[in-house]
Amino acid sequence: MGSLPFDLVAVDLDGTLADEHNRCSPVDLRAMRAVAQLGASVVIASGRMHAATERFWHEAGLNAPILSYNGAMIKHPRDGLVWFHLTVPAPLADEVVDFCESYGYHLNYYLNDHLYVKEETVWSRLYHQRTGSVVEPVGSLRRFRGQSPTKLILIDTPETTDYLRERFQERFGERLNIIKSNDEYLEFMHPGANKARTLQRLAYRLGVPRERVLAIGDGNNDIPMMRWAGYAVAMGNAKPAVKELAHQIAPPIEQNGLAVALVEIFGLNREEVFVS
């Protein structure tokens, strides 16, 4: 270590690498691959389930594990080995399920890297369109009573999830980490699950000090890891709060902001990355 500006690069997925149609620019993928080939550990750090991130790992030709579920899991696609995993305590998961089923809210239930829903809805279709995740309708989610899912997501209008976030935070306090990772998504996770804490664990395991960690993101769920990292880059399409804490602001995703930042920071050959 020492010859590169950073030894660990954490890259958010949605809004940073993948667009709203779940597509990645070949330019951004080439830039990530080039940084990995220089010897840096390039990590996809996503709120998505692990299964919905693996194809990007392969397309970018990466070799480091994936940080998924907003920090609730670290798993390596190469051998399927789980390095770290936090789950929602069963009694709390059951409470969320009961609430959603009693009042008719759509809920994504993530167990053993499968995504279960009660039934297909406009919200499950929206989520599939954005992430490509395989959605499995199974009827009442109360069938999973007593299980500890990796996370849950209530999906509804931005106004509804804003309102429910306050209600759930009053109800659960610090027993759950409750965040809005997207305007329509209200996520429930283990209180120790966030991108910062898990990135810190990964850096320690890889022997990388904090000051040599680069984090790139655009969403509110990226704020913890961007605050913790030694250097933070916000995408041009990032939320205002994300831009405020960033050391550098890259162009938006539509203009290959990720690749632009990596070319500048790592001194990559721009012509090779941006080849037509």
Distances (CA, A) of 173 to 98, 187, 190, 244: 18, 14, 12, 27
Rounded to whole angstroms, the Cα distance separating 76 from 129 reads 25
pLDDT digits (tens, 9 = 90+) for 73-122: 999 999 999 999 999 999 999 999 999 999 999 999 999 999 999 999 99
149, pLDDT greater than 80: yes
Residue range 181-198, pLDDT digits in tens:
889 999 999 999 999 999
N-term to C-term CA, the chain = 33
Which tens digit of pLDDT belongs to each residue from 41-80? 999 999 999 999 999 999 999 999 999 999 999 999 999 9
Residue 182 is predicted with a pLDDT of: 86
Are 225 and 217 in contact by the 8 Å Cβ rule? The answer is yes
Angstrom distances, CA of residue 215 to CA of 30, 55, 146: 18, 21, 36
How far is Cα of residue 239 from the mean position of the Cα atoms in its chain? 15
Alpha helices per DSSP H over the chain: 26-38, 54-60, 90-103, 122-131, 158-172, 195-206, 223-228, 240-245, 257-266, 270-273
Residue 96: predicted pLDDT: 98
* Parallel/antiparallel/unpaired status of strands 151-155 and 106-111: antiparallel
The per-residue pLDDT of the chain, averaged, comes to: 96
Quote the pLDDT of residue 276: 55
Q: Over 60: is that where the pLDDT of 145 sits?
A: yes
248-259 confidence digits (pLDDT tens): 999 999 999 999
Closest by CA to 46, choosing from 79, 76, 10, 81, is 10
- Which amino acid is residue 27, in one-letter code? V
Q: How many CB atoms lie within 10 A of CB 276?
A: 4
For residues 75 and 81, the answer to whether their CB atoms sit within 8 Å is: yes
Structure tokens at 43: 């990590």
Q: Could you read off the pLDDT of 210-223 as tens digits, one per residue?
A: 999 999 999 999 99
Q: Is the pLDDT of residue 5 over 90?
A: yes
CA 168 – CA 103 distance, rounded (Å): 14
Residue pair 62/33 in contact (Cβ under 8 Å)? The answer is yes
Q: Band of the pLDDT at 20, cuts 50, 70, 90?
A: confident
257-271: pLDDT as tens digits: 999 999 999 999 999
What domains sit in the chain, N to C, each tagged with a CATH number? 8-85+193-273 (3.40.50.1000), 90-189 (3.30.1240.10)
Residues in the chain: 276
d(Cα 216, Cα 13) in Å, to the nearest integer? 9
User: Is the distance from CB of 176 to CB of 92 less than 8 angstroms?
Assistant: yes
Per the model's pLDDT, the better-predicted residue between 105 and 275 turns out to be 105
